[in-house]
Structure 1
Amino acid sequence: MSSKDVIILTGNEVYLTDNFIGKLKKKYMSGFEDMNFFVIDNIKNRGDEVGRFMNTIPFMVEKKIMVIENCDFLTSKKSLAADDEKHIMGYLDSRVDENILIFNCSGIKVDSRKKLYKKINKMGSIVKYDKLKENELVSWIKMYVSKNNREMSDGDVHYLAQVIGYLDYESPLTLYDVKNELDKLISNTEKGGDINRSNIDSVTIISIENNIFKLVDFICEGNSDNAFRMVYDMIGKNVAAHYIFHMISRHYRLLLRLYLMEKDGYSSNEIQKAMGLRPFSFNKMKKQQRQLSQNKVKKIYDMCFDFDKRVKKGLLDMETGIDMIITAAKE
């Protein structure tokens, strides 16, 4: 029995989790999937099915695979029913098969103190797929583009990685979203052809965070015409005015914090880590900082703070508040 035959899959990158399961199916199953691959969406009152399926001989393939989804019973907030836990633990204690049992915990925070987790950690494997870091995402994009017989320069790959939104702070996007954008770019270019920045700008959905950077660029420059145009374009595309206001306020708060941390002697690396900023975002913020005095940043942030209170009391419309901020920034 292999130590890899019982697996807990964790992490937030669901694409890589699904890809892992897909590779196992490809490795151990060449047909007859209906009889050898089984998914349990909810284990409640079905714990006895685990042993029954796993302990039967694979039909015309090397191994059978069972995937248990919705594993919130491995979090700190929920637990397995006593009978289900008894059946699963009993199977793990006495199993003789070499089939593969997977607990798919993608997207949830597992509790390593759980009895079942400890058991699997000891006898099997914990496989974690977190979201890719910037250099990993760049490599993945290059691989996917090359696999689909397209070319991209290193500069354009880095540009796409930045603007697509996957790397944004607390972004909910996964590689499925990146793949969808790449598939659109691939379908709009010839086989063997180049995907360039012009293609990216015309086809790809640019992330809200990058749009906010552009909007604040316009506001910092006092370019009110473009700022107004961009705000109402975003609202026209169903981006809520409250969200735009929140992002502008957050951005000026970060700019103010940048000034204060520099004044207190923090290094660039320390500031980036404390503020949760990637080098790309930090460098853009530094550029904006050079256009504004600390007093100007504080003035706009104080306006945001005041407008937020007034909006919550019904004394100000949010879109009007955004207009007033853009106008004040030009003065």
Structure 2
Amino acid sequence: MIYLIYGFQLPVIKKTLKNLISKCLNGEEINDFNFEKVSSRLVLVQDIVFDAMSLPLMSSHKVLVVSEPYYLSSEKEKTSLDKDQDYDKLVKYINNPSEHTDLIFFLEAKNVDTKNEVYKAIKEHGKIISQEVLTENMLMSMGNSIFVKKGVKINENALEELVHRCGDDVAKFTNEANKLCLYKNEINIDDVKIMVSLRLEDNAFNIVDALINNKINKALKIYYDLRINKEEPVRLIALIASQFRFMLEVKYLISLGYNNAKIADILQTKPYRVDRTLKTTFNIKYNQVLKVQEYLFDLDYQIKSGNKDPYYAFELFLINFNDIAK
């Protein structure tokens, strides 16, 4: 059987791979005779075909995992192997695979190239397993498992705050949970706020919220803290502009009579983000948001053109926000 496992959260797809290997081997312990792993960056596809066709020694079945199959990713890249790759041979094998080998392509990527001939062959003759969308409930469950295994207690509010601060970054979530386990045996929300830093996206939202609510000093403090951590103003400008653009979309959909849940569904985001944005939108008008968007677009251009110092220009934007949004 031929499989393709792909996704952008490595811990998630690694777990999927582990479960699939166990299933393919019927629970047998992995050894040198029934399992092999190769990298597409080091091995030609025709050599992978040769390995897949070779009979397993001292075993009736084997699993061959092909990591980093870059040719299946939507983000194209060139490697030194490209000129020697025989993709036709790989496609022919996928169309008529060996019965004694399970061939698993394992790709860490958000999207795949659906027009690629290898992908088309796998889709027709094999099975494609994409990373499932992680919900907050799934992350909460994952977090509970981590803390229970470590013998650490964490209350629900603290766990919710941890999920919020890590978003859908499973690797960060796992690392931060393990760090908290080393910190104390009983974790509360204050511990999470002390130990786990906010994502840059959340800091950008907090800056926007402070500006709209005329708390310029608070916005400046957040910016100064981020500057200490060497965050670039250009990146902040992009995130803040994105938040204002999201605000425009929410305002428009609200005017059409949609509720929060429907807006979250239309914009493909979490209801929590819509709820937070709505609380802010009441204090700023549609045309004011447009003015801010236009200013940020010009500011980004001026900085990237070298006409303005990024740190000084961004600080002036924060200080003069009320005049900009008039």
Shorter-chain TM-score bucket reads 0.7 to 0.9
Structure 1 pair 197/44, CA: closer, same or farther in 2 (3 Å)? same
Q: Which residue of 2 aligns with 1:22?
A: 18
1:187 paired to 2:190 = no
Q: How much is the aligned-residue C-alpha RMSD, in angstroms? A: 3.3
Q: Which residue of 2 aligns with 1:70?
A: 68
1:89 paired to 2:111 = no
Q: In the TM superposition, what are the counterparts of 1:1-331 in structure 2 within 5 Å?
A: 5-24=1-20, 28=25, 33-42=31-40, 45-52=44-51, 55-59=54-58, 63-74=61-72, 83=86, 85-86=88-89, 89-90=92-93, 93=96, 95-97=98-100, 99-107=101-109, 109-112=111-114, 114-166=116-168, 173=169, 175-190=170-185, 194-294=186-286, 296-329=288-321
8 A Cα contact 2:4 2:106, kept in partner: yes
Q: Deviations over 1:125-173 (max 9, x none)?
A: 222223412232222222222233222233322222112132xxxxxx3
Deviation at 1:22, TM superposition (A): 2.6
Q: Deviations over 1:2-61 (max 9, x none)?
A: xxx4311123332222113333556647666344432221275352454445543354x6
Deviation at 1:106, TM superposition (A): 3.3
Farther off after superposition, 259-268 or 244-253: 259-268
Structure 1 pair 120/80, CA: closer, same or farther in 2 (3 Å)? farther
- Alpha-carbon distance between aligned partners in 1 of 2:71 and 2:299, rounded to the nearest angstrom: 44
- Alpha-carbon distance between aligned partners in 2 of 1:287 and 1:110, rounded to the nearest angstrom: 38
Structure 1 pair 325/183, CA: closer, same or farther in 2 (3 Å)? same
Where in structure 1 are there 5+ consecutive unaligned residues? 167-172
**AA of the residue aligned to 1:184:** K
Structure 1 pair 45/290, CA: closer, same or farther in 2 (3 Å)? closer
Deviation at 1:96, TM superposition (A): 3.3
Q: Deviations over 1:166-196 (max 9, x none)?
A: 2xxxxxx3x2222111111111122xxx222
Structure 1 pair 314/71, CA: closer, same or farther in 2 (3 Å)? closer
- Alpha-carbon distance between aligned partners in 1 of 2:228 and 2:18, rounded to the nearest angstrom: 40
Where in structure 2 are there 5+ consecutive unaligned residues? none
Q: Which residue of 2 aligns with 1:170?
A: none
**AA of the residue aligned to 1:93:** N
Structure 1 pair 325/258, CA: closer, same or farther in 2 (3 Å)? farther
Deviation at 1:283, TM superposition (A): 0.9
- Alpha-carbon distance between aligned partners in 2 of 1:330 and 1:130, rounded to the nearest angstrom: 43
% identity of equivalent residues: 21
Which secondary structure does the structure 1 equivalent of 2:167 belong to?
Answer: coil
Structure 1 pair 185/23, CA: closer, same or farther in 2 (3 Å)? same
Structure 1 pair 37/300, CA: closer, same or farther in 2 (3 Å)? same
- Under a length normalisation based on structure 2, what TM-score does the superposition of the two structures give? 0.80
- Under a length normalisation based on structure 1, what TM-score does the superposition of the two structures give? 0.79
Deviation at 1:236, TM superposition (A): 1.2
8 A Cα contact 1:12 1:108, kept in partner: yes
Q: Deviations over 1:214-268 (max 9, x none)?
A: 2222222222222212101101102101111222233233334433443455554
Deviation at 1:285, TM superposition (A): 0.9
* Corresponding residue pairs, total: 315
Which secondary structure does the structure 2 equivalent of 1:228 belong to?
Answer: helix
- Alpha-carbon distance between aligned partners in 2 of 1:8 and 1:252, rounded to the nearest angstrom: 38
Which secondary structure does the structure 1 equivalent of 2:96 belong to?
Answer: helix
8 A Cα contact 2:216 2:318, kept in partner: yes
**AA of the residue aligned to 1:22:** K
Deviation at 1:284, TM superposition (A): 0.9
